[in-house]
Structure 1
Amino acid sequence: VNLILSQPNPEFWLILFLCLIGFIFSFYQVSDQKKLRPIIFLRGILILILVLLFLDPKVEVTTKNSNDMKWYLYLDRSLSMSYHTHPSVGSLVSGFDQILEKIERKNVPIKIFGFGSDLDTSWTVGDKQIRDGSTDLGQVLNHIRSNEKNDLAGSVIITDGQVNLGAEIPSENLNINSPIHIVGVGDETPLVDVSIHAIDAPPVIIKGENADLDVTISSHGTVNERLNVTIYSGKKLVGSKVVTVSGDGSLERVRFRINPTQSGEAKYRVQVNALPDEINIQNNKQIVPIQVLKNEYTIALITGAPNFNTQVIKQIISKHSEYRIDHFIFRPNGYTKNLKSFWDTKYDLILFDNHPIEENAKEWQSYIRIFAKKLVSHQSSLAIVVGNETHEKSLASFLGLMDMTLNKPLIEFGSPYEWELSPRWDKFFPFHIINFDNMDLTNLPPILLQFEVDSSQGIPLAHFSISDVEVPLLMVGEKSSLRFMVWTSPELNTVYYKTRNSQVSDLSQQIFDPVFSWLMRTGNGQDYYFRSEKNSYQQGERVTVKGKAIRDDETIMEGFVHVSNNGQRINSKPITYDDNTGYYTGQFWASKSGQLDYEVEFIHGDKSMIVNQGSVQVQESQVELNHVYLNKDPLKKLAELGDGTFRHWDNRLSLISQINPVTKLETFYSKVVLHDSRWLVMCILGLLSAEWVLRRRLGLM
């Protein structure tokens, strides 16, 4: 404890001199009265304290404390550590216990951690299993950084350096001040492993078109072999190629060309033969699902009476080479094409154009039951574009197949009315938004209304706005497997021709393209297709999901892939778009074993939609078996950056000389300014109170 006083000035000495004279004078005045001496004594102390305060007194207190610093020992408990030929699992466990015993003999405080995919202290309670599915060395370094202020003397890491989760082993800027010693486990020559690293294949193709599957084969260890890579479709061998692998993490690529002849989901099995010394053969086979779309969609166009809409409809359909039309036109002596072929042929879409009419209404009324059976058995969709000659009663019968009815008209049908697209359009076709800059879509050519259809069983996508009443113009819907469309105006041609030289010259095409595509399920009900590079991954691997739009004009720049396990979302990653390839790509880590479900969400403007869903199977712990060797060079670099040493497992006991007790001596300084001390104030008040009590007892008050 030190008392620090400021340098006294002349004023201080003057005040001190006057106080002393006053004190001595008072003392001699009452020298013969012993009862008053205590009061004089208390006043003298009080005067002394007040005079000392002029010197700005400070009290400095110094205390010292010593703490024994701890050493942290980290043991890699990942699966690869148990597959080294030297040391074996038993030797590893006993060798680690031997290190602990020798350190404890030196009375060095230690704390033990096991690490793999997570960091834990279960080794100290008897859990000595070596079986974690992955290795995250980054969390060990983060743990060291966060504990350097907690009396950490240094760290020892026992590992083979096979990092397959989290950050890579740093090669610079470690930002750790305490020493890090590393004991490397295993041989530097990797064990043999061959796997299918990735399969680059389109998620969706057209039936009959050629598609390439690029298969990447990875190999580890000392190997120089010719391997057979085969691809099967079911039990049928599609192709086989020989590839030479050279090990040491090399990647070899082979290409197969496929030409699927059936639409639907095609599953191809790709496999590479296993080597005799291979310990992990689960990664030698993968399944590739590819969605095969039809290359031709057939449309039956049935025209009851000649009208101007017919050519417009055919013009819209002809823009798509995959659409084929069988046109049946009613004539007084029959049809331009035999109706027998209509009943025998399976159509994706049956389109009534101004049909039925008065002249053939009775005939088609007799067909209503067999027509309904055809729709169901052939899974055909129905579209109706009314005309001026469309027979109302017959139309009502065919609308009844879709549980739709005609309303009694509340307005006059002879006059044209304004119409507009419904807000429901954007919800029904979120990626077919009709958007024209500087164009008011409510200012469209007025057209006639022929029939008023009840909208309760369908979804109006365009409507007339008449006296604040919305009357359906274009309506779609679905009953069980039957999809249908109704256009209620005979003046489709008016929309087509009166907008040709305007900013909306392709309005009719933009309206009916997505509608016809939806009716015929041209994308098999989807606008985008995504698939993972493989169907089976190993825990700790990176999963890549690639996708493609069915139509080239659908490009979304913002999206996410959301990953779930057992219904619980565990991750979300952004999706990027490559202008050169036309593919969307998203990546995430296979962090948990079992089935991981993913869904792709696209954001367009202020709207979002899940466009695709899928799943991958994740095998537990097997990624560790792909790299069973000592990753020496990065570990040596890490030890150098940490001001520590690197040694092999066989030389582990030499580490004991580096681990010694470390004591941290801490000195604490505290300073008390007496001016600000409440204890001094209390002392002064105590002296004044004591004097008051004495004076009262002596009768001086």
Structure 2
Amino acid sequence: MSLRFLGDLPAWWGGLLALLVAAVVWWYYRRDTRDSGPWAHWLLPTLRATAIALAIMTLAGPVLRHTTTIGQLGRVVFCVDASASMSQQDPDYASTRFQRANDLLTGEEGLLAELQQTHELSVSGLDGSDAKLWWDSAETEQPPREFDVQADAATTDLATPVMRRLGLDEAALGMPGEATADEDQQGPRTAVVLFSDGRHTHGRSPIDLATQLAGRGVPMYCVGFGSAEEPTDVAVVELQHPDSVSSKNRVRGTLVWKDRGPPGRAVQATISAGDEVLWQETLTTQDVPLRRTEFDFAIREIVDAAVKQQPRDVRLQSLPLVLTARLQPFADELDSQNNEAEFRISAVVNDHRLLLIDGRSRWETRYLRNLFQRDEAWQVNTLIVGPAAEHRTLPRGEGTQRFPTEPARLLVYDLIILGEVNADVFTSEEQGWIRDYVARGGGLVIIDGPRGKWKQIIDTPLGDLVPVTFADSVPQRSERLQLTASGLDWAPLRLRADREPNRQLWQQLPPPQTLVNVEPLPAADVLAEAMVAGKPRPAIVRRPFGAGQVVYFAFEDSWRWRYEVADRFHVRFWNQLGKAVMQAPFAVSDSFASLDTGRAQYTAGDAADIRVRLRDANGRPISDATADALLWRDDELVATIRLTAGDQGDGVYRGTTGPLQPGSYRTTVRASGYSESALKVNTEFRVAAISTGELDAVSCNETLLREMALASGGQYLPEASADQLKSLLEPLSSGRTEQHDTLLWQSYWWFWAILGLLSVEWLLRKRSGLL
């Protein structure tokens, strides 16, 4: 039983009018009864006002509805796909798929109106992994005229939300369901009706869901929306590119794009920085799901122009470049908004600096020197010092071919590679400089050899850096190389993209001819092993030291990896290793601070590592300040990150942001002892939204919907045949709902209530002597 209002005056208008008039009557009548005693003074105005209110409410047409259920009603659970692909407008239709699904349900001739007398009905929207209830006949009898919702979910999950809506155990998905088949026989017969384009992009298999429903005797009727063929559309799907590149080098990467154009059409692909086109190519469509196109372009001119615009007292090490990839849209294209995508890379302005020192000009050293010298991103200072070398003693001084004469000069190097040098090449003080260099964040690579030089250095200050101990046995010939579990996970050792092919490749590389017999220290990590007489021995060992790290090679034969493949693996390995081990440079510096926030582009949910180095007016590090990084998005402060100083006394402070939301960010620095105008450094980075692939394909996946319907014991219907749903669902119900309305505003009960209130009020007035 429920109360409804069917009059010409809306219920809320009638209620408001009745309340206002009753209040006026009560106030006016109360003035006439102020001398009639306390009970009459309050009760008489209340009776009169209530009668007047009931009389006015007759204008709203109050109706008392009685609902009687005869027999057993069937239960129908409507699930509407509310993902972004359902917001597409198909050719030959004036409305979107989502709007057409709503139209099938609502209105005087909609399914809800036709089935509400014989079925228990509910409508839910599938929003990602959630099922949001829109309407339930058990809560509201009258179906809505329309659903005021949008189809904008970033993913489509056709399994999990349906399970949740039916109250089924998600853990049982994919398991046999016969054991629970009897449970649903005790309640109403149930069916699920799914309105979707079948573009399942996230979550468990919908086929497993359908199988579970079949075990419970719940058929699923799937109504497919959209054309079975992909509409004309080209789109930028992904841009594969390096995070950073030297401004002197070229940017090389891959444009992954959706090609759903009629075969043979020309489409112009471009990559630009602002209004300047850096790369363009005319492509020909093939009507395939995905294409991969390589791009290659120079950035030196735009980087030089951007650097010139920077303030003179701000020095850049890397510059974030904002680039846009674009595919020229067709006139008949479905969606031209997906034809371009913005991405960012860090352009390294200044070269990386390498200090390479060895005791003899061995093959390993020659190839390494040539490798890095050919790369325009590196400046190499090579010193060969030994009894039979170019220099018998270490040349010291300023400039190239010299070792720095003070520790500050050593800090300008990003990476140091030390070969087989004699223990007396460096003074004890210089050895301490190298040790402090690594402790403050520098990178050191040690390439040992068969002459046992590093075994002699182990008792010097440099020995603190060595991550291994030396055995008494002589170097031995190895049989093959192999990566450890740690090595497989470390990116610099990844010479092939996939894990298993990379593992196999390392076993095929030429093995070391002489392997130094060493054992790793407890804190060291063995990355690669060499098999000697069938037993694995450490070949590449890595260990952190302070804020830096050391990588030790127990062999000198990586140059042999060029055999028959030239630089294919050798160059890639050393470039990756050098950038991973070297001291990470700060992106921007001014007179008092240096700042770095890592990559130029992150993905939503990532956290950015922030590093700040503070100095005084004389360039000396400041390690006792209170420092914060201020994170801005769209010129609004969104986070303040407290930075913590390290134990090395180098003035470096570190902090980490929380998970980042999509958008463009700017980072500034605040520190005690510095004015706001003194710290001018700031960096920018972009956080890209996670690509879900929701709109990569927008045609109707009829195959999936048919399989779901068949597996559940239901039926698939294209949108044009959706009018068959009523006849398919009618057998679920063996009962009906009958409704009877009592027109209260025309009934004697309503009249007698008003008359009774007035009669009681008249009798009380007479008793009080007011008549």
After TM superposition, the score normalised by the length of structure 1 is: 0.46
